[in-house]
Amino acid sequence: TNNFLRHVESMKLLPSGAGHISHLNAVILGESLATEEDDFVLPSQDFASKANVQSPEQYLKMYKRSIEDPAGFWSDIASEFYWKQRWGNKVCDENFDVRKGNIKIEWFKGGITNICYNCLDRNVEAGLGDKIAIYWEGNEPGLDGTLTYSQLLQQVCQVANYLKDIGVKKGDAVIIYLPMLMELPIAMLACARIGAVHSVVFAGFSAESLAQRIIDCKPKAVITCNAVKRGSKAIHLKDIVDAAINDSAQNGVSIDVCLVYENLLALKREATKWKEGRDIWWQDVIPKYPTTCSVDWVDAEDPLFLLYTSGSTGKPKGVLHTTGGYMVYTATTFKYAFDYKPSDIYWCTADCGWITGHSYVTYGPMLNGATVVVYEGAPNYPDSGRCWDIVDKYKVTIFYTAPTLVRSLMRDGDAFVTCYSRKSLRVLGSVGEPINPSAWRWFYNVVGDSRCPISDTWWQTETGGFMITPLPGAWPQKPGSATFPFFGVQPVIVDEKGVEIEGECSGYLCIKNSWPGAFRTLYGDHERYETTYFKPFSGYYFSGDGCSRDKDGYHWLTGRVDDVINVSGHRIGTAEVESALVSHPQCAEAAVVGVEHEVKGQGIYAFVTVVDGVPYSEELRKDLVLAVRKQIGAFAAPDKIHWAPGLPKTRSGKIMRRILRKIASKQLDELGDTSTLADPNVVNQLIELSDS
Task: List active site positions.
Answer: 562
- Which x/- pattern over 488-527 shows residues binding ligand PRX (rule: CB under 6 A)? ----------------------------------------
Q: How far is the CB of 579 from ligand PRX (least distance, A)?
A: 19
Q: How far is the CB of 460 from ligand PRX (least distance, A)?
A: 4
Between CA 560 and CA 544 the distance in angstroms is: 6
User: Of 199 and 356, which has the nearer Cβ to ligand PRX?
Assistant: 356
Q: How far is the CB of 20 from ligand PRX (least distance, A)?
A: 29
- Chain centre distance of CA 549: 23
Could you say whether residue 355 binds ligand PRX (CB under 6 A)?
yes
- List CB contacts of 622: < 8 A, sequence separation 6 or more: none
Please give the size of the binding site for ligand PRX, defined by CB under 6 A.
23
Could you say whether residue 566 binds ligand PRX (CB under 6 A)?
yes
- Chain centre distance of CA 229: 23
Stretches 2-10, 430-438, 484-492, 680-688: which one binds ligand PRX (CB under 6 A)? 430-438
Q: How many CB atoms lie within 10 A of CB 99?
A: 9
Q: How far is the CB of 506 from ligand PRX (least distance, A)?
A: 14
Between CA 159 and CA 153 the distance in angstroms is: 10
Between CA 659 and CA 253 the distance in angstroms is: 42
Among 356, 408, 477, 568, binds ligand PRX (CB under 6 A): 356
Span 78-137, contacts to ligand PRX by CB under 6 A: none
Q: In what order do the strands lie in the sheet with 173-177?
A: 279-281, 257-261, 221-225, 173-177, 197-200, 303-309, 317-322, 521-522
Could you say whether residue 545 binds ligand PRX (CB under 6 A)?
yes
Find the helix packing angle between 207-217 and 618-631, rounded to 10°: 30
Could you say whether residue 456 binds ligand PRX (CB under 6 A)?
yes
Q: Could you write out the three-class secondary structure of 110-135?
A: CCEECHHHHHCHHHHHHHHCCCEEEE
Could you say whether residue 571 binds ligand PRX (CB under 6 A)?
yes
User: Of 17 and 559, which has the nearer Cβ to ligand PRX?
Assistant: 559
Could you say whether residue 457 binds ligand PRX (CB under 6 A)?
yes
- 297 close to 114: Cβ distance less than 8 angstroms: yes
Between CA 248 and CA 218 the distance in angstroms is: 9
Could you say whether residue 461 binds ligand PRX (CB under 6 A)?
yes
Could you say whether residue 214 binds ligand PRX (CB under 6 A)?
no
- DSSP secondary structure letter of residue 316: P
- 599 close to 407: Cβ distance less than 8 angstroms: yes
Among 183, 339, 351, 433, binds ligand PRX (CB under 6 A): 433
Closest chain position to ligand PRX (CB):
461
- List CB contacts of 418: < 8 A, sequence separation 6 or more: 446
Stretches 240-248, 393-401, 538-546, 654-662: which one binds ligand PRX (CB under 6 A)? 538-546
Could you say whether residue 309 binds ligand PRX (CB under 6 A)?
yes
Between CA 600 and CA 385 the distance in angstroms is: 19
Could you say whether residue 358 binds ligand PRX (CB under 6 A)?
no
Q: How far is the CB of 673 from ligand PRX (least distance, A)?
A: 28
Binding site for ligand PRX (CB under 6 A): 309, 355-356, 430-434, 456-461, 482, 543-545, 557, 559-560, 566, 571
